């Protein structure tokens, strides 16, 4: 859960949410469908995106070892997934 929302719920355990807290929650919920769509697009296109990255790395750095290129691609894949999750989280 988003840290700001987690804090909001923890602070409001023994009371109702304040109007400004409801606004924050509403904004988060309202933007969720768009964030989910972006996440799904990245997830569904991951292979195409990463294949382009791999092809370009291989072309631009032909002198690099296979192991170095593989490690770079794996790191890029992890970054892409991290970015997708960050977008989902906000």
The pTM of the whole model exceeds 0.75 = yes
Q: What is the DSSP string of the chain?
A: --HHHHHHHHHTTTSPPPHHHHHHHHHHHHHHHHHHHHHHHHHHHHHHHHHHHHHHHHHH-TTS-HHHHHHHHHHHHHHHHHHHHHHHH-
Q: What is the pLDDT along the chain (90 residues), one digit of tens a residue?
A: 678 888 888 988 889 999 998 998 999 899 999 999 999 999 999 999 999 999 999 999 999 999 999 999 999 999 999 999 999 887
């Amino acid at each position: 859960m988003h840290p700001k929302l987690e804090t909001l719920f923890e602070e409001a355990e023994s009371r109702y949410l304040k109007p400004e807290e409801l606004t924050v929650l509403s904004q988060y919920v309202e933007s969720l469908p768009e964030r989910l769509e972006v996440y799904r697009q990245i997830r569904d296109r991951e292979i195409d995106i990463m294949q382009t990255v791999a092809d370009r790395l291989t072309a631009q750095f032909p002198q690099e070892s296979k192991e170095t290129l593989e490690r770079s691609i794996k790191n890029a894949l992890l970054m892409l997934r991290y970015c997708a999750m960050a977008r989902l989280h906000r």
